[in-house]
Chains A and B, each alone.
Chain A
Amino acid sequence: MKNYIFFGFFLTLFACQFTENKENEELAKGDESIDTSLAIELGEALFFDSMLSLDSSISCSSCHLPEFAFADTARVSKGVHDQFGFRNTPSIFNLKGKPFFFMEGGVENLHRATLGPMLTEEEMSLQAPQLLERIASNEHLHQNFIRAYGEGYEYRDVVDALVQYQLSLKSLDAEWDRYTVSGGDGEWERGRALFNSDSLNCSTCHPAPLFRDDKFHDLGLAHGEPLDYGRGRLTFDSTDYYKFPSPSLRNVALTAPYMHDGSIETLKEVIELYQAGGGPRKPNDLSTTFQLNDQDTQALLRFLESLTGDAAKSAHHRAQSNG
């Protein structure tokens, strides 16, 4: 009798296990069956839709302007209820493979990073239930989400659509890319040589091909108000205070103003900052100063302009000509 009881028990367990495995398979199948192009299309629609913000006043594209390489022209961006952030909005090109996000460097994947502006009170400030309600009440969007993610789509799928769109934003079609692929003499060759030279040493923190090193540096910039500890804000380690990651220089000619706080208006002024060995706070991670004459400065600027992608440049010119 005892044996039969155990047999029955194991049979029940087996049945449960079988059901669980089947569910896992279905989940996996569901993930594979997501139509990436549809997800990108959905993500793009959301990116430009102000329904993502609490008071429907801003969309992602309000701060990540396509005509400025998806960066902002304001020193710091404005969120809902006219609140201002405290850092300059970065470009979101070429995010695939980026090891961390935000200037503290604590967020290791783009899904979590995308939550940042969506949830932060000073930015879009809309929590998950409210956004899902808004999507459900938009029949077209709702149906597209069902097509892409299934009937039971969740908040994570909304975030995923935005992630898929961001990952589709690549900018690897600059003069520099063509030069690298085909060879030849770029008219900015003098600037490239300066950029890579030991005396300027730009390429150490901005190495090709993405021209960022994904490391943190203190450039000695003046403390902002409120005090911004950079990476130290996350680690509480005083050796990390005021260190910020090197941004990519791809499309840098379109992404003014510069630095983490948007405090520098032009690329020429940024070069002057480096010439002076960084900002007023010493010591910092820029140990040396250098001198450039006007010709060298122009050559360096010309090289930096060669990093502007064709598509980004076209979007910029289109927007300019449309006023």
Chain B
Amino acid sequence: MKLAKLALLTLTSLVLFIGCDDDPGEGQLRVNFEMTQDGTPINLNEDYTGDQITAMRVEKLKYYLSDIKLLGANEALKSVEVVDFETGRTSFTFNDVQEGTYSGFSYRLGLSAEQNGSDPLDYETGHPLSASWGLYWSWATKYRFILMEGRGAEDGALDGQGDDFIISMHPGADEFGQAVSFSRSIEIVEGEIRTLTIQIDVDDMFDGPGGLVDLPTENQTHTTPSDRDIALKFIQNFAAAMTLK
């Protein structure tokens, strides 16, 4: 009998708590990433003429985003996410976003120091920080923040001949995270999906506020003492090459 009373009281208290709920409505936010050249989409493995090099191709592109949030919101939408063009992981939908008008969208390109010190074995397979994405540098116990690989040819023909060069940009270090923020009024409406598209310009990722990455001579970086400056330039430019459409 006592147990029944107790259960009734628990149920009542739960009902009261739920009854007091006056949460505002919720909508969804979808964020898409695409590679572009002056606004025109570029696909992986598609040859294009770059500003700097006459024949270019991006073959792999992956990167980390962390502390993803709507400006003006109390909490981050997600603490970490991985974008991988090779597997088509370029579109992310955030559910249960509180309705309202926000002043923009932001994230860190890369990881926080704490995230960068993670052990991938602590995460389930498939988690952005697990050993599932080819981004973990086990020898250095840290992650590559961006993995961008491709080819270039100054003679205008990617033909596997001697003048082709391999591009391999792997920046990653605690202090390399780049704050990316877009000021834009973003309205989330209950029951609706708001879509943002972020374009990454394939020319600007090599030439921007970090300085020119001279591709014929600066096409490899693994964030070692001899190529750390290239890694830093590249990640700074990459962050600036992102624009919200």
Contact = CB atoms under 8 A, between A and B. Distances in A.
Interface size class of A (residues with CB under 8 A): 35 or more
Interface in B1-41: 6, 9-14, 16-17
Given A112-B141, A155-B125, A159-B121, A5 B13 contact: yes
B126 interface: yes
Interface in B110-138: 119-122, 124-126, 130-134, 136, 138
A115 interface: yes
Interface size class of B (residues with CB under 8 A): 20 to 34
A43 B233 CA distance: 43
Interface in B132-154: 132-134, 136, 138-141
Nearest to B121: A156
Given A112-B119, A115-B136, A229 B226 contact: yes
Contacts of B124: 154
Contacts of A118: 131
Contacts of A116: 138-139
Residue in B122, B133, B224 with the greatest tally of chain A CB atoms within 10 Å: B224
Residue in B6, B120, B133 with the greatest tally of chain A CB atoms within 10 Å: B120
A186 B133 CA distance: 54
A111 B136 CA distance: 14
A4 B13 CA distance: 7
Main secondary structure on chain A at its contact with chain B? helix
A84 interface: no
A154 B140 contact: no
Contact of A4 (B9, B130, B225): B9
A113 B131 contact: no
A5 B125 CA distance: 41
Contacts of B10: 8, 11-12
Contacts of B226: 226-227, 229
Given A7-B9, A104-B140, A128 B225 contact: no
B200 to A, nearest CB: 23
Nearest to A234: B140
Interface string A9-30: 1011000000000000000000
A115 B14 contact: no
Given A115-B121, A116-B139, A226-B226, 17 more contacts: A7-B13, A8-B10, A8-B13, A9-B13, A115-B138, A119-B134, A127-B131, A127-B132, A128-B120, A128-B125, A154-B125, A155-B130, A155-B132, A156-B122, A227-B226, A232-B225, A234-B139
20 contacts: A4-B13, A8-B14, A9-B13, A11-B10, A102-B139, A112-B141, A115-B120, A119-B131, A119-B136, A120-B138, A128-B130, A128-B131, A128-B132, A132-B125, A155-B125, A229-B225, A229-B226, A233-B224, A234-B139, A234-B140
